[in-house]
Structures are given as structure tokens and as C-alpha cells.
């Protein structure tokens, strides 16, 4: 079953997108986009597991639980369903169901309530970082997509992720007022969550997609580094660095100075760091990741 009933009241319906207009021949040549779309669909669909943990963590906080159940989960689930439907249209030979099953079995062992927190305010800060990451990621996909249907899909998801960020930020402000966390504690929670995105969520999803694409070969973690480098090469051109930095630093309440802002300075450092992590052969489209 590719189509699934997500629920009512959503801003858009993934079944309305023109999947029959996907240019399969163009997409067949882009392994990088297959990895991007498939891994993103896996992570999105697992939102319901993560949401159960979040609802348990915020038990008794009715407004949070109502929003998670009524808005956040249906929207995230729709993101996964839409990306899955797109993957089926663009790469019909890819065994999405079997690959997702293997991914889910492994990921479920990592997704535990004790990994949330350590306080409600800091968990909301962590959620804001995740939503900043997804908003920026789909912005990049929208900008780099050679297929208009994928660009349209990424644009819809991007708008939802922006809404999630705003709502989690409101919740963060509420618990921040109650708990008064130190700025350093908030920064630490943000950095830790950002590292988890790369090291855990993304790695596990990538590993299973890679194994499906290369069934006779043995997976190496260095292949994931190669994938992230290829993403980095695209990010140099398409990632909304300034916006992402602004979204993240809003949590810290950094003082705003006239003239060149703190955000702009951090964004510059981020860009230089990104440039340094991308191997020369991948910069400006000179070459491609070889083990994908
Ligand atoms: Fe999402
Ligand atoms: Fe989201």
C-alpha cells in the first residue's frame, strides 16, 4: 500500500501531487537524490514512535500533547508518505518496503524516552534544532531538485517544518520561563541534538538504503561520510545557512548589535567550516561520490 489515510485538517494532501509527471529517466541518474528522498522518508515515518515518547515525556501537559497528536504527528507522517510515494514514482525498482522494515527494526532500539530531555525546556530546544534542520534540508532539496514535482513536494514539507519550529519555539519559551535554564545548558542541548541527527538518525537510515542498493557489498561507515560530503557540496550552494543560524540562535536570546549581526558572523564561520569539510573534488560539482 503506497497510499495511506493520514487524517483530515491538513494544510495540503500528498495524494494531490502530480506523481505521474515525475521524470523517471532524469531521476534514475541521480543516486544522491534517491538516498536523500529514501532516508528522509524513513526518518519522517518514524515520527509516530518518537511522538509517543514525547507525549509520554510531556504527560499532563495537555496543550503540548494535543498539538503533537493533532498536528505534528499527522503532518510528519504525511511527509514520510509523500516522500515514499515520490520514491515509488521516481525509482520503481527500489525495494522501499523491505528496506524500511530493516531500518525500523534497528532504529526502534535507539528511540527511548530516557534519551529525551534532560528538562522540558531543553527538550523543546532540542526539538527546535530538529525542525531547524528539517526546514533547512527541505529548502536545500527544493533548490537543488531537477524535477518540478520533487521541488513542489519539498516546498510543502518545508512550510510545515517552519510551522513546527514556530510551535516548538513557543513551547520552549513557556518552559524556559518556568525552568530558567542557563544559556550554556540550552546551547549544550542544541549541539548534542544536532550531533545526534548526523551520527544516529541519518546514519542508520543511510546504511539500510545503501545496503539495498549494494546487496553484495559490505557497508562501511566511511560511505556515510561520503554521502554527507556530497550533501555538503550541495549545501555550499543551496543550504539556507543564514536562516538556519538565525532560527537556532533565537533560542539563545543573543544580544543584537547594530550593523553586522551575530547571526551573520556565525553564518560566515559555518560556511567556512562547511567548505573545509567538503573534499575538493566534490566542490562546485567537480565529481561525484563514488561509493553510493
Ligand atoms: Fe517532517
Ligand atoms: Fe517537523
pLDDT tens readout for residues 109-124: 776 555 787 899 999 9
What residue has cell string 518556568? 178
- Ligand nearest the Cα of residue 45 is 1
- Ligand nearest the Cα of residue 43 is 1
Q: Can you give the pLDDT at residue 87?
A: 94
- Ligand nearest the Cα of residue 44 is 1
Centre of ligand 2 to C-alpha 168, Å, is 10
What are the two backbone dihedrals, phi and then psi, of residue 195, each rounded to the nearest 5 degrees?
-70, -35
Centre of ligand 1 to C-alpha 46, Å, is 10
Low-confidence ranges of the chain (pLDDT < 70): 1-8, 111-114, 197-200, 256-291
Helix extents (H) in the chain: 24-28, 31-45, 47-57, 62-67, 73-90, 96-107, 120-144, 148-179, 183-196, 202-213, 221-238, 241-249, 262-277
Q: Can you give the pLDDT at residue 150?
A: 95
Centre of ligand 2 to C-alpha 162, Å, is 8
Centre of ligand 1 to C-alpha 216, Å, is 32
- Ligand nearest the Cα of residue 166 is 2
Residues 10-36 have pLDDT tens digits of 999 999 999 999 988 777 778 889 999
Q: Can you give the pLDDT at residue 1?
A: 43
State which residues have CB under 5 angstroms from ligand 2, the bound ion: 131, 161, 164
Q: Can you give the pLDDT at residue 193?
A: 85
When the pLDDT of each residue in the chain is averaged and rounded to a whole number, the result is: 85
Q: Can you give the pLDDT at residue 239?
A: 87
* Cα separation of the two ends of the chain: 28
State which residues have CB under 5 angstroms from ligand 1, the bound ion: 44, 76, 79
Q: Can you give the pLDDT at residue 265?
A: 65
Centre of ligand 1 to C-alpha 217, Å, is 31
Closest by Cα among 125, 136, 117 to 252:
125
292: which residues sit within 8 A by CB, 6+ positions away?
31, 32, 35, 210, 213, 223, 226, 227, 230
Amino acid at each position: 500500500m503506497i497510499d495511506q489515510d493520514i487524517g483530515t485538517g491538513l494544510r495540503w494532501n500528498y495524494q494531490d501531487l502530480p506523481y505521474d509527471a515525475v521524470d523517471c529517466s532524469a531521476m534514475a541518474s541521480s543516486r544522491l537524490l534517491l538516498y536523500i528522498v529514501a532516508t528522509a522518508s524513513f526518518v519522517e515515518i518514524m515520527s509516530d514512535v518518537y511522538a509517543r515518547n514525547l507525549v509520554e515525556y510531556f504527560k499532563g501537559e495537555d496543550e503540548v500533547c494535543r498539538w503533537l497528536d493533532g498536528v505534528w504527528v499527522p503532518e510528519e507522517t504525511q511527509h514520510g508518505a509523500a516522500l515514499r510515494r515520490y520514491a515509488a514514482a521516481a525509482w520503481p525498482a527500489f525495494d522501499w518496503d523491505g528496506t524500511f522494515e530493516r531500518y525500523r527494526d534497528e532504529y526502534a532500539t535507539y528511540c527511548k524516552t530516557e534519551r529525551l530531555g534532560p528538562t522540558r525546556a531543553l527538550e523543546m530546544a532540542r526539538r527546535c534544532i530538529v525542525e531547524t534542520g528539517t526546514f533547512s534540508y527541505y529548502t536545500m532539496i527544493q533548490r537543488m531538485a531537477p524535477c518540478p514535482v520533487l521541488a513542489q513536494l519539498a516546498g510543502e514539507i518545508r512550510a510545515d517544518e517552519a510551522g513546527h519550529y514556530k510551535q516548538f519555539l513557543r513551547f520552549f519559551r513557556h518552559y524556559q520561563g518556568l525552568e530558567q535554564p542557563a544559556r550554556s545548558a540550552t546551547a549544550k542541548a542544541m549541539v548534542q541534538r544536532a550531533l545526534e541527527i548526523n551520527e544516529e538518525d541519518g546514519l542508520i537510515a543511510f546504511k539500510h538504503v545503501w545496503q539495498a542498493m549494494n546487496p553484495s557489498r559490505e557497508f562501511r561507515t566511511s560511505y556515510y561520510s561520503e554521502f554527507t560530503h556530497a550533501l555538503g557540496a550541495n549545501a555550499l550552494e543551496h543550504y539556507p545557512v543564514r536562516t538556519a543560524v538565525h532560527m537556532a540562535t533565537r533560542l539563545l536570546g543573543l544580544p543584537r548589535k547594530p550593523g553586522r549581526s551575530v547571526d551573520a558572523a556565525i553564518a560566515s564561520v559555518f560556511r567556512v567550516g562547511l567548505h573545509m569539510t567538503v573534499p575538493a573534488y566534490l566542490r562546485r560539482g567537480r565529481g561525484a561520490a563514488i561509493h553510493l
